[in-house]
């Protein structure tokens, strides 16, 4: 009688792997009993272990969301299963949002959170506003005006649904002494000396916006396609922006091109930063003044009620570097008078800019 050896040539089933996140420190799952489980990240072997009773649990570290892991099993007869690919999920909650002071009368809450996170603001159990933070993490959530002393709770939720801890701010806390807007000869002034209160939040002035639309349309007819880089900014948004510039450039440099909160013309709703679509490399740069679009604006903006606010060689007067992209609406009569004088607004009004 001839004996025949029956060999095991059947590959084990692919392992079943429990969902894993970047906050986990083990990979767990099931595989054929007594098979050896191999776990790889690309060409790097993370683990090799036996599934004694059909279960396995391997320690891992430094996993990042989006990493792909390959897991397969080899049985005692050296048959190899198909590999299963497991993607590491984002299981890390965003950091608690940084939130600026909320002034009495404010219509926005601003700050910084994880980039792309959905930021929500609650007053008690009621959600009163939400928005997505930008690629730089900055956010500004529009809210109804809240009473002084009202506690607001701010959270951030990332794309994977992970929710941060809560930040609580009290309306009116830390907003400082009251400041009243300053008008000189009927012109609202916002510069390094004259400020605006945190509660001053008019949004973009509709008359200025209408004039800007006409100017952009006529510029396009003249062959200059222009984009609005920046317009209205709230007090709190300017505070976050200024602090970011200080962190990047240092305060001495930052204050040459960025305004302190409450001292930005953008808070008036009458200022616009413009740039040519054909020369984005010149955006927010002195070189914009040498481009065809920049020259056209400098020569024609007053006809629509705008002036180049910060002129070349006038930093000692205005406190700011030459900004050929920054246009302030004064109305046609005032803008034409300032343009024809060749003076800065400070010189024209006879006021200090420092």
Tens of pLDDT, residues 204-252: 999 999 999 999 999 999 999 999 999 999 999 999 998 899 889 988 8
Structural class in CATH, domain 98-170: mainly beta
Is pLDDT above 50 for 298? Answer: yes
Is pLDDT above 80 for 123? Answer: yes
Q: Is 151 a catalytic residue?
A: no
**What average pLDDT does the segment 192-201 reach?**
88
Predicted local distance difference test score (pLDDT) of residue 6: 62
Is pLDDT above 50 for 176? Answer: no
pLDDT in tens, 78-90: 999 999 999 999 8
Assign domain 16-87 to its CATH superfamily.
Immunoglobulins (2.60.40.10)
Domain span(s) for CATH 2.60.40.10 in the chain:
16-87, 98-170
Instruction: Determine which of 21-25, 112-116, 290-294, 314-318 has the lowest per-residue pLDDT on average.
Output: 21-25
Under 8 Å CB-to-CB from 236, ≥6 apart: which residues? Answer: 100, 101, 102, 103, 106, 108, 109, 110, 111, 140, 198, 261
3-class secondary-structure state, position 332: helix
3-class secondary-structure state, position 97: coil
Assigned CATH for 182-349: 3.30.1380.10
Domain span(s) for CATH 3.30.1380.10 in the chain:
182-349
What band does 142 get if pLDDT is binned at 50, 70 and 90?
A: very high
Regarding pTM above 0.85, the answer is no
Crossing angle of helices 292-300 and 206-221, in 10° steps, is: 130
Predicted local distance difference test score (pLDDT) of residue 174: 57
pLDDT in tens, 12-48: 999 999 999 888 889 999 999 999 999 999 999 999 9
Is pLDDT above 80 for 151? Answer: yes
The upper half-sphere exposure of residue 246, i.e. CA atoms within 13 Å in the direction of its Cβ, equals 12
Query: What stretches of 229-281 show up as alpha helix (H) in DSSP?
Result: 235-249, 251-257
Is pLDDT above 90 for 293? Answer: yes
The C-alpha atoms of residue 103 and residue 63 are separated, in whole angstroms, by 42
Predicted local distance difference test score (pLDDT) of residue 179: 60
The C-alpha atoms of residue 136 and residue 113 are separated, in whole angstroms, by 9
Active site residue: 140, 323, 333, 347, which one?
A: 323
pLDDT in tens, 244-279: 998 899 888 988 999 988 899 999 999 999 998 888
**Average pLDDT of the chain to the nearest whole number:** 91
- Sheet strands (E) in the chain: 16-17, 26-30, 35-41, 44-51, 55-59, 68-74, 84-87, 98-99, 108-112, 118-123, 126-132, 138-142, 151-157, 167-170, 182-184, 187-189, 226-230, 271-276, 306-310, 323-329
pLDDT in tens, 50-102: 998 999 999 988 888 889 999 999 999 999 999 999 999 988 899 999 988 88
**What is the percent of the chain where pLDDT is above 70?**
96
């Amino acid at each position: 009688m001839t004996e025949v050896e029956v060999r095991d040539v059947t590959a084990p089933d692919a392992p079943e792997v429990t969902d894993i996140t970047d906050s986990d420190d083990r990979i767990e799952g099931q595989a054929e009993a007594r098979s050896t489980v191999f776990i790889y990240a690309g060409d790097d072997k993370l683990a090799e272990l036996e599934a004694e009773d059909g279960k396995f649990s391997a320690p891992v570290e430094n996993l990042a969301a989006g990493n792909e892991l390959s897991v397969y099993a080899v049985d005692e007869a050296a048959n190899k299963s198909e590999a299963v690919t497991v993607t590491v999920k984002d299981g890390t909650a965003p950091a608690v949002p940084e939130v600026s002071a909320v002034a009495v009368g404010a219509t926005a809450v601003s700050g910084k959170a994880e980039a792309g996170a959905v930021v929500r603001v609650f007053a008690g159990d009621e959600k009163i506003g939400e928005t997505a933070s930008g690629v730089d993490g900055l956010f500004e959530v529009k809210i109804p005006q809240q009473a002084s002393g009202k506690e607001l709770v701010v959270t951030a939720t990332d794309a994977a649904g992970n929710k941060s801890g809560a930040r609580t701010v009290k309306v009116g806390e830390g907003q400082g002494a009251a400041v009243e807007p300053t008008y000189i000869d009927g012109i609202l002034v916002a510069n390094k000396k004259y400020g605006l209160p945190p509660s001053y939040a008019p949004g973009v002035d509709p008359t200025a916006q209408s004039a800007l639309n006409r100017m952009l349309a006529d510029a396009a007819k003249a062959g200059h396609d222009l984009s609005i880089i920046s317009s209205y900014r709230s007090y709190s948004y300017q505070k976050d922006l200024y602090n970011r510039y200080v962190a990047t450039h240092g305060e001495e440099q930052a204050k040459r091109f960025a305004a302190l909160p409450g001292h930005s013309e953008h808070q008036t709703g009458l200022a616009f930063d413009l740039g040519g679509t054909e020369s984005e490399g010149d955006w927010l740069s002195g070189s914009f003044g040498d481009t065809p679009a920049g020259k056209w604006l400098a020569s024609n903006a007053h006809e629509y009620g705008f002036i180049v606010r910060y002129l070349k060689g006038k930093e000692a007067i205005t406190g700011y570097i030459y900004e050929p992209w920054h246009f302030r609406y004064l109305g046609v009569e005032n803008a034409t008078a300032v343009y024809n004088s060749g003076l800065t607004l400070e010189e024209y009004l006879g006021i200090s800019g420092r």
